[in-house]
């Protein structure tokens, strides 16, 4: 199944993907907006704002997925200036694409791409978990139980 999902990729989204110094993949919002055929970045910002709201409503930290950055761009006569941009995690891209203009064919392709890639990562993590030896599996079990207890206690504090 993982091989089938890997075969269905949208190279355009892979071409603009970047990897940071920690090995985490990310996309730049301005590039994503162009790929999704928004004529101007300001028109794309509404999809980003809706995605941030969805992120917050999913109990995720916005700053973990939407990092405000400045990019240097060339303007006439070799001068440079800063423009605002956003470094988007895979999850943020997924949310942005889900909130983009559904009338655009490339948005539908993006929705499919990020859904498939998310599922592929889930399968890979499951495969890795199933390949743990007995000792590693016991550690994972203990950590998971500890997290469950902590989350239960935190929920009771609310």
For 141-150, the pLDDT digits (tens) are 656 665 666 5
Residue 30's pLDDT band, with cuts at 50, 70 and 90, is very high
Which SS3 state, helix, strand or coil, does residue 22 take? Answer: coil
Q: What's the pLDDT score for residue 63?
A: 95
pLDDT over 90 (residue 132): no
Q: Whole-model pTM?
A: 0.71
Is a pLDDT exceeding 90 seen at residue 56?
Answer: yes
Judging by beta carbons within 10 Å of its beta carbon (0-12, 13-18, 19+), is residue 48 exposed, middle or buried? buried
% of the chain exceeding 90 in pLDDT: 48
CA–CA separation, 62 and 150 (whole Å): 23
Q: What is the pLDDT of residue 130?
A: 73
- Residue 144 CA to residue 1 CA, distance in Å, equals 27
Burial of 128 from C-beta contacts in 10 A (0-12 / 13-18 / 19+):
exposed
The contacts of residue 5 (CB under 8 Å, 6+ apart) are: 116, 117, 119, 120, 123
Query: Does 89 have pLDDT greater than 50?
Result: yes
């Amino acid at each position: 199944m993982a091989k089938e999902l890997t075969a269905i990729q949208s190279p355009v989204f892979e071409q603009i993907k970047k990897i940071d110094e920690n090995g985490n993949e990310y996309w730049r919002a301005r590039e994503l907006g162009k790929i999704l055929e928004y004529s101007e970045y300001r028109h794309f910002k509404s999809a980003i704002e809706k995605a941030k709201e969805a992120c917050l409503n999913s109990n995720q930290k916005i700053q973990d997925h939407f990092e405000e950055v400045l990019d240097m761009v060339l303007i006439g006569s070799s001068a440079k200036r800063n423009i605002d941009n956003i470094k988007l995690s895979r999850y943020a891209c997924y949310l942005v694409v889900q909130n983009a203009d559904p009338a655009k064919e490339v948005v539908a392709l993006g929705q499919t791409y990020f859904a498939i890639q998310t599922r592929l990562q889930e399968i890979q993590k499951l495969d890795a978990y199933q390949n743990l030896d007995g000792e590693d599996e016991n550690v994972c079990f203990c950590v998971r139980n500890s997290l469950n207890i902590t989350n239960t206690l935190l929920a009771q504090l609310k």
